[in-house]
Protein backbone atom coordinates (compact mmCIF):
# COMPACT_ATOMS: atom_id res chain seq x y z
CA UNK A 1 0.00 0.00 0.00
CA UNK A 2 2.90 2.39 0.69
CA UNK A 3 4.15 2.00 -2.87
CA UNK A 4 0.72 2.84 -4.25
CA UNK A 5 0.54 5.94 -2.06
CA UNK A 6 3.99 7.05 -3.15
CA UNK A 7 3.04 6.37 -6.76
CA UNK A 8 0.03 8.67 -6.37
CA UNK A 9 2.31 11.33 -4.90
CA UNK A 10 4.71 10.97 -7.84
CA UNK A 11 1.81 11.38 -10.26
CA UNK A 12 0.45 14.47 -8.47
CA UNK A 13 3.86 16.14 -8.32
CA UNK A 14 4.39 15.74 -12.06
CA UNK A 15 7.27 13.28 -11.78
CA UNK A 16 5.92 11.18 -14.66
CA UNK A 17 7.74 12.42 -17.76
CA UNK A 18 7.34 11.77 -21.47
CA UNK A 19 4.44 9.34 -21.17
CA UNK A 20 3.58 7.72 -24.50
CA UNK A 21 0.45 5.66 -25.10
CA UNK A 22 0.66 3.34 -28.09
CA UNK A 23 -1.47 0.43 -29.27
CA UNK A 24 -0.72 -2.31 -26.78
CA UNK A 25 1.86 -0.41 -24.75
CA UNK A 26 2.45 2.53 -22.41
CA UNK A 27 5.97 3.87 -21.99
CA UNK A 28 7.07 6.64 -19.65
CA UNK A 29 9.96 8.07 -17.72
CA UNK A 30 9.47 8.66 -14.01
CA UNK A 31 11.74 10.85 -11.93
CA UNK A 32 12.59 9.05 -8.72
CA UNK A 33 15.10 9.67 -5.97
CA UNK A 34 18.03 9.38 -8.37
CA UNK A 35 19.08 12.01 -10.87
CA UNK A 36 18.34 9.81 -13.88
CA UNK A 37 14.64 9.05 -14.53
CA UNK A 38 13.51 5.43 -14.50
CA UNK A 39 12.10 3.83 -17.64
CA UNK A 40 8.64 2.28 -17.18
CA UNK A 41 6.96 0.02 -19.73
CA UNK A 42 3.47 -1.47 -19.49
CA UNK A 43 2.42 -4.01 -22.13
CA UNK A 44 -1.19 -5.02 -22.68
CA UNK A 45 -2.28 -8.31 -24.17
CA UNK A 46 -3.90 -7.56 -27.54
CA UNK A 47 -7.36 -8.86 -28.39
CA UNK A 48 -7.97 -10.90 -31.50
CA UNK A 49 -9.84 -9.57 -34.52
CA UNK A 50 -12.74 -11.88 -33.75
CA UNK A 51 -12.99 -10.49 -30.22
CA UNK A 52 -13.02 -6.94 -31.57
CA UNK A 53 -15.87 -7.84 -33.91
CA UNK A 54 -17.86 -9.09 -30.93
CA UNK A 55 -17.17 -5.91 -28.94
CA UNK A 56 -18.14 -3.63 -31.82
CA UNK A 57 -21.27 -5.66 -32.44
CA UNK A 58 -22.30 -5.37 -28.78
CA UNK A 59 -21.51 -1.65 -28.82
CA UNK A 60 -23.55 -1.07 -31.98
CA UNK A 61 -26.61 -2.55 -30.24
CA UNK A 62 -26.36 0.06 -27.46
CA UNK A 63 -27.21 3.25 -29.27
CA UNK A 64 -26.97 5.55 -26.25
CA UNK A 65 -23.60 4.13 -25.24
CA UNK A 66 -22.34 4.42 -28.80
CA UNK A 67 -23.51 8.03 -29.01
CA UNK A 68 -21.74 8.90 -25.75
CA UNK A 69 -18.56 7.22 -26.91
CA UNK A 70 -18.59 9.08 -30.23
CA UNK A 71 -19.13 12.29 -28.27
CA UNK A 72 -15.94 11.61 -26.32
CA UNK A 73 -17.58 10.41 -23.11
CA UNK A 74 -17.00 7.14 -21.30
CA UNK A 75 -20.27 5.15 -21.28
CA UNK A 76 -21.31 3.91 -17.86
CA UNK A 77 -22.08 0.44 -19.22
CA UNK A 78 -18.84 0.05 -21.17
CA UNK A 79 -17.83 -2.84 -18.92
CA UNK A 80 -21.05 -4.65 -19.85
CA UNK A 81 -20.19 -4.16 -23.53
CA UNK A 82 -16.88 -5.94 -23.08
CA UNK A 83 -18.30 -8.67 -20.85
CA UNK A 84 -21.06 -9.26 -23.41
CA UNK A 85 -18.31 -10.10 -25.87
CA UNK A 86 -16.79 -12.47 -23.26
CA UNK A 87 -13.67 -10.35 -22.78
CA UNK A 88 -12.48 -8.27 -19.85
CA UNK A 89 -12.45 -4.49 -19.95
CA UNK A 90 -9.32 -4.33 -17.79
CA UNK A 91 -6.59 -6.94 -17.37
CA UNK A 92 -7.55 -9.41 -14.67
CA UNK A 93 -4.97 -12.13 -15.28
CA UNK A 94 -1.22 -11.97 -14.80
CA UNK A 95 -0.58 -12.79 -18.44
CA UNK A 96 -2.86 -9.96 -19.63
CA UNK A 97 -0.48 -7.28 -18.37
CA UNK A 98 3.30 -7.03 -18.25
CA UNK A 99 5.14 -4.28 -16.41
CA UNK A 100 8.81 -3.42 -16.35
CA UNK A 101 10.76 -0.67 -14.60
CA UNK A 102 14.49 0.02 -14.52
CA UNK A 103 14.39 0.76 -10.78
CA UNK A 104 15.93 -1.78 -8.34
CA UNK A 105 12.59 -2.35 -6.57
CA UNK A 106 11.48 -5.98 -6.89
CA UNK A 107 7.78 -5.33 -6.19
CA UNK A 108 5.18 -5.28 -8.94
CA UNK A 109 3.95 -2.67 -9.36
CA UNK A 110 6.67 -0.46 -7.99
CA UNK A 111 5.92 3.15 -7.07
CA UNK A 112 7.08 4.36 -10.49
CA UNK A 113 4.75 1.98 -12.32
CA UNK A 114 1.94 2.88 -9.92
CA UNK A 115 2.40 6.55 -10.80
CA UNK A 116 1.95 5.69 -14.48
CA UNK A 117 -1.21 3.72 -13.64
CA UNK A 118 -2.69 6.72 -11.80
CA UNK A 119 -2.18 8.99 -14.79
CA UNK A 120 -3.50 6.31 -17.11
CA UNK A 121 -6.81 6.09 -15.25
CA UNK A 122 -7.23 9.84 -15.61
CA UNK A 123 -6.56 9.54 -19.33
CA UNK A 124 -9.44 7.07 -19.63
CA UNK A 125 -11.84 9.79 -18.54
CA UNK A 126 -10.31 12.30 -20.94
CA UNK A 127 -10.08 9.95 -23.92
CA UNK A 128 -12.31 6.83 -23.70
CA UNK A 129 -10.90 5.53 -26.98
CA UNK A 130 -7.82 4.44 -25.01
CA UNK A 131 -9.90 1.48 -23.82
CA UNK A 132 -9.72 0.27 -27.41
CA UNK A 133 -6.23 1.52 -28.23
CA UNK A 134 -4.41 -0.25 -25.42
CA UNK A 135 -5.68 -3.75 -26.33
CA UNK A 136 -4.64 -3.05 -29.92
CA UNK A 137 -7.44 -1.22 -31.79
CA UNK A 138 -6.81 2.33 -32.94
CA UNK A 139 -9.49 5.01 -33.17
CA UNK A 140 -9.48 4.78 -36.98
CA UNK A 141 -9.88 1.01 -36.93
CA UNK A 142 -12.76 1.34 -34.46
CA UNK A 143 -14.64 3.69 -36.78
CA UNK A 144 -13.92 1.35 -39.67
CA UNK A 145 -15.38 -1.59 -37.81
CA UNK A 146 -18.41 0.44 -36.76
CA UNK A 147 -19.05 1.40 -40.33
CA UNK A 148 -18.74 -2.19 -41.48
CA UNK A 149 -20.52 -4.07 -38.71
CA UNK A 150 -22.98 -1.56 -37.28
CA UNK A 151 -26.54 -2.16 -38.61
CA UNK A 152 -27.49 0.53 -41.08
CA UNK A 153 -30.89 2.13 -40.71
CA UNK A 154 -33.14 1.68 -43.76
CA UNK A 155 -33.46 4.71 -45.98
CA UNK A 156 -36.47 6.79 -44.96
CA UNK A 157 -39.14 7.62 -47.49
CA UNK A 158 -40.42 11.18 -47.37
CA UNK A 159 -43.85 12.24 -48.59
CA UNK A 160 -44.84 15.53 -50.17
CA UNK A 161 -48.13 17.35 -49.63
CA UNK A 162 -49.86 15.18 -52.24
CA UNK A 163 -48.97 11.97 -50.38
CA UNK A 164 -46.56 10.81 -53.09
CA UNK A 165 -43.41 9.11 -51.84
CA UNK A 166 -40.37 11.24 -52.41
CA UNK A 167 -36.71 10.32 -52.77
CA UNK A 168 -35.00 8.44 -49.96
CA UNK A 169 -33.26 10.59 -47.41
CA UNK A 170 -29.50 10.59 -47.44
CA UNK A 171 -27.78 8.60 -44.68
CA UNK A 172 -26.01 10.58 -42.02
CA UNK A 173 -22.21 10.23 -41.94
CA UNK A 174 -20.71 8.24 -39.08
CA UNK A 175 -17.87 10.68 -38.44
CA UNK A 176 -19.04 13.21 -35.79
CA UNK A 177 -16.61 15.90 -36.99
CA UNK A 178 -18.37 16.05 -40.36
CA UNK A 179 -21.43 17.46 -38.58
CA UNK A 180 -19.70 20.84 -38.36
CA UNK A 181 -18.53 20.91 -41.97
CA UNK A 182 -21.65 22.40 -43.55
CA UNK A 183 -21.87 24.28 -46.81
CA UNK A 184 -21.18 27.99 -47.06
CA UNK A 185 -24.14 30.28 -46.43
CA UNK A 186 -25.30 32.57 -49.27
CA UNK A 187 -24.83 36.33 -48.96
CA UNK A 188 -28.59 36.98 -49.25
CA UNK A 189 -29.60 34.41 -46.64
CA UNK A 190 -32.31 36.63 -45.15
CA UNK A 191 -33.43 38.24 -48.45
CA UNK A 192 -33.83 41.92 -49.10
CA UNK A 193 -34.43 44.07 -46.02
CA UNK A 194 -36.46 47.27 -46.35
CA UNK A 195 -38.01 49.76 -43.92
CA UNK A 196 -41.83 49.54 -43.48
CA UNK A 197 -43.90 52.34 -45.01
CA UNK A 198 -45.82 52.95 -41.75
CA UNK A 199 -44.22 52.92 -38.30
CA UNK A 200 -45.32 50.31 -35.82
CA UNK A 201 -48.11 51.28 -33.45
Cross-strand pairs, 101: 40
Angle (CA) 4 137 79, round 5° = 55
Low-confidence ranges of the chain (pLDDT < 50): 148-172, 179
Domain limits, the chain: 2-149
Q: Note the pTM of the prediction, 2 decimals.
A: 0.61
Identify the pLDDT of residue 153.
32
Identify the pLDDT of residue 149.
38
Identify the pLDDT of residue 68.
82
Identify the pLDDT of residue 167.
47
Identify the pLDDT of residue 195.
63
Identify the pLDDT of residue 201.
55
At residue 178, φ and ψ (nearest 5 deg) are -70, -15
Identify the pLDDT of residue 96.
72
Nearest residue to 60 via CA among 180, 179, 174, 173: 174
Under a CB-based contact definition with an 8 Å cutoff, are residues 85 and 58 in contact? yes
pLDDT by residue (tens digit) across 130-157? 888 888 888 888 888 877 433 333 343 3
For residue 35, the 8-state DSSP code is S
Amino acid sequence: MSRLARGRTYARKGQVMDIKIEPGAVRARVQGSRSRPYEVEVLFRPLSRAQWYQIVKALADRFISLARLLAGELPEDIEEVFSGAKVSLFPHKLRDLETDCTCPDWSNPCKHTAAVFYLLTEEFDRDPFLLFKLPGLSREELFELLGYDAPKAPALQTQNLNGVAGPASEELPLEPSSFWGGEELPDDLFGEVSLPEAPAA
